[in-house]
Chains A and B, each alone.
Chain A
Amino acid sequence: DAGVTQSPTHLIKTRGQQVTLRCSPKSGHDTVSWYQQALGQGPQFIFQYYEEEERQRGNFPDRFSGHQFPNYSSELNVNALLLGDSALYLCASTSSRGGFQTQYFGPGTRLLVL
């Protein structure tokens, strides 16, 4: 049973570019959340997707957007990249049938913006 998978593992972009990160949830999970973890900080909640819609959103600008597909996988898009967007981006999945309890985290995508 595969856990949460994310791609790519590493990515280098320049300021102003756009990036798309991908996440496949754990088998049986239907809800995906995205977190940003800057160096030396704890992860910060970006948003959560359930039933292909954004269910909750943290304090992130509109440059951060997402999508959930019918197979429950998800994408995180960041437009007009800034140096401060350099971070580890973590995806977590959970199940609505379990009351959204116990989130499982993927290995993350490390984004470097130059």
Chain B
Amino acid sequence: KQEVTQIPAALSVPEGENLVLNCSFTDSAIYNLQWFRQDPGKGLTSLLLIQSSQREQTSGRLNASLDKSSGRSTLYIAASQPGDSATYLCAVSPGDDKIIFGKGTRLHILP
């Protein structure tokens, strides 16, 4: 059974710092991995999607990496801003189209 774990559960950093969020999954047989952002009480916004054949994806200040063999992914956020404060969810698709999510990392950027 696929399980997704995110560490840390919560993180507070001063504005301007670079930071890394971690995600691990137990079954390496995945079709893709996604990172989502969720603002309080809101829906999900897809940030980055990495296909199983890819190693990383970049969008602006965000960079996500994928190491399928070790069951790990990281989301790197450069030069953090207060507007980056949100919950970040890691999710994998085992190929049958449903998405399995971690519990998320609550990020707070201190002005």
Given A40, A43, A45, A108, which contacts B42 in the complex, CB threshold below 8 Å? Answer: A108
CB neighbors of B among A36-88 (8 A) = 40-45, 48, 55-56, 58, 88
Q: How many angstroms from the CA of A33 to the CA of B101 in the assembled complex?
A: 14
Q: Are A42 and B103 in contact, CB atoms less than 8 angstroms apart?
A: yes
Interface size class of A (residues with CB under 8 A): 20 to 34
Nearest CB of chain B from residue A111's CB, rounded to whole Å: 13
Pick the contact of A56: B32, B46, B49, B98 (CB < 8 A): B98
Q: Which residues on the B side are within 8 Å of A108 (C-beta)?
A: 42-43
- A101 and B32 contacting across the interface, CB-CB below 8 Å: yes
Question: Contact between A103 and B99 (Cβ–Cβ < 8 Å)?
Answer: yes
Question: Are the C-beta atoms of B103 and A40 separated by less than 8 Å?
Answer: yes
Q: Which residue in chain A gives the minimum CB-CB distance to B42? A: A107
Do B41 and A48 touch (CB < 8 A)?
Answer: no
A100 with B97: in contact, given A40-B103, A41-B103, A42-B104 (CB under 8 Å)? yes
Number of interface residues of B (CB under 8 A): 21
Interface hits, B47-94 → A, CB 8 Å: 49, 89, 91
Q: Are A105 and B43 touching (Cβ within 8 A)?
A: yes
B residues neighboring A (CB under 8 Å): 4, 32, 36, 41-46, 49, 89, 91, 96-104
Give 7 nearest A-B pairs by CB, closest first.
A42-B101, A105-B44, A107-B43, A45-B98, A100-B97, A108-B43, A42-B103
* Beyond A56-B97, A105-B36, 16 additional pairs, beta carbon < 8 A: A35-B99, A40-B103, A42-B4, A42-B91, A42-B102, A43-B99, A48-B97, A55-B97, A56-B96, A92-B44, A94-B97, A100-B97, A101-B32, A102-B49, A103-B46, A110-B41
Which residues of A does B touch, CB under 8 Å? 31, 33, 35, 40-45, 48, 55-56, 58, 88, 90, 92, 94, 100-108, 110
17 contacts between A and B (CB under 8 A): A31-B97, A42-B4, A42-B89, A42-B103, A45-B98, A45-B100, A48-B98, A56-B96, A56-B98, A100-B97, A101-B32, A102-B49, A105-B44, A105-B45, A107-B43, A108-B42, A108-B43
